Amino acid sequence: MKKGFLTNIVYSNGLWIAGLLLLLLSVIGNIVYFGVETKNVLIPAFSGLYGQDILGFQLDQLFRNTLVGYIFRFLMLLGSAIILQNISSDYRLIRVRSFFPFFLFCVFSATILPAIPLDGSSISCLLLCWSFFRLFAVEENGSANRAVFDAMVLLAIASLFHCRLLFLLPVFWMVMGVLQIFSFKSFLASIIGFLSVFWIIGGVSFLLEDYTFLLNYVNELVAFDLVDFNSFSTAEIAYISFVGILMISAMVSFWPRQNLDKLRTRNYLNSILLLWFSFLVLWLFSGNDMGILLMLFCLSSLMAAHFFSLMDTRYSRALFVLFILLSIFVYFLIGR
């Protein structure tokens, strides 16, 4: 069967260059064209730090600067894209060498960049991708307990900026089961790794006799709100629906043919799908949280990359072209 342009670009280094340029152009477009002011959204757990002088200046006032705010998010998102690419390459999620993971996440990030608040979402995204990278390392280097410990520490730190990530702890245990490394020692390593961060915070709070951070963290954790689709524009609903169609296509493409991949690769991809569904539920119960949606797009980019790299049909080519066009369209509507 004659192949199309997807086969030609899957091996191309131009994909990562294109992704980097799109993300950079998105930042420049917001600063120069839209002139959108950076919104410094209050993180409840860190409310005690707002307005405090650190080395002679206030960090929250610094990030209110449009240029500084967008540069910071650009660096965090770029770091996340690099880690996602390394996850795909180092753990061989795709049978061919492809820069699609980096490119697709850059497109996702560039599209919703105007709507990503400066509330720690980009930091959590970077830490979460790093946590996935360490968790998947359990089948590579043999030191499962150390990898699990590192992954849980990173997850705990990410949850400081987005407390609802705490609910992913049992999902990570399920992923450990899928990866066939769940044992009493690995379970204990995960508990110690996750609690070590809060043990340090609790110790500092005890010494300072100030438990504001922990109280705000708990209050934010128990509060939840269903996503309000009425607040989304028609274009945003169409984009989210398209991502759903893309993920369904990726799953339908992967599951019947997963025997073509190695067992380890199948475990990785099934773990990603498990995490994706968990993030979907988390997003539905977190209100219109663009931070959670951003992290959901991380996993979507990995599965979509697997689909576009291995499927070159009229249907996949049409989805790819539609994805690019719709992303550009939604970007201008969000930034307007």
Contacts of residue 299, defined as CB under 8 A and 6 or more positions apart, other chains included, come to 272, 275, 276, 279
Higher pLDDT, 325 or 60: 325
Contacts of residue 105, defined as CB under 8 A and 6 or more positions apart, other chains included, come to 19, 77, 80, 81, 84, 297, 298, 301
- Please tell me whether residue 185 adopts helix, strand or coil conformation: helix
Average of pLDDT values for 273-282? 93
Alpha helices in 3-120 (DSSP H): 5-9, 14-28, 59-63, 66-90, 100-112
Residues 31-83: pLDDT tens digits? 877 655 545 555 555 555 555 555 555 656 666 667 777 888 899 999 999 99
**Identity of the residue numbered 297:** F
Instruction: Using the predicted structure, report yes or no on whether residue 108 has a pLDDT greater than 90.
Output: yes
Higher pLDDT, 294 or 63: 294
Instruction: Using the predicted structure, report yes or no on whether residue 296 has a pLDDT greater than 70.
Output: yes
pLDDT at 290: 83
Higher pLDDT, 261 or 196: 196
pLDDT at 137: 86
Asked which of 34-43, 197-206, 304-313 is least confident by mean pLDDT, the reply is 34-43
Question: What is the chain's mean pLDDT, rounded?
Answer: 84
Contacts of residue 324, defined as CB under 8 A and 6 or more positions apart, other chains included, come to 107
- Please tell me whether residue 43 adopts helix, strand or coil conformation: coil
Residues 207-240: pLDDT tens digits? 877 777 788 788 777 777 787 777 777 888 888 8
Tokens describing residue 136: 């998947």
CA distance 108 to 327: 7
pLDDT at 83: 96
pLDDT at 1: 41
Beta carbons of 147 and 190 less than 8 angstroms apart: no
Q: What is the pTM of this model?
A: 0.89
Beta carbons of 303 and 276 less than 8 angstroms apart: yes
Contacts of residue 40, defined as CB under 8 A and 6 or more positions apart, other chains included, come to 60, 63, 64, 69, 118, 119
Residue span of the structural domain in which 59 resides: 5-335
Asked which of 9-18, 96-105, 212-221 is least confident by mean pLDDT, the reply is 212-221
Total domains, the chain:
1
Q: Phi, psi (5° rounding) for residue 225?
A: -150, 135
Higher pLDDT, 50 or 287: 287
Instruction: Using the predicted structure, report yes or no on whether residue 261 has a pLDDT greater than 80.
Output: no
Residue 97 CB: number of other CB atoms within 10 A?
A: 11
Average of pLDDT values for 152-177? 91
CA distance 96 to 330: 31
CA distance 14 to 11: 9
Average of pLDDT values for 174-200? 91
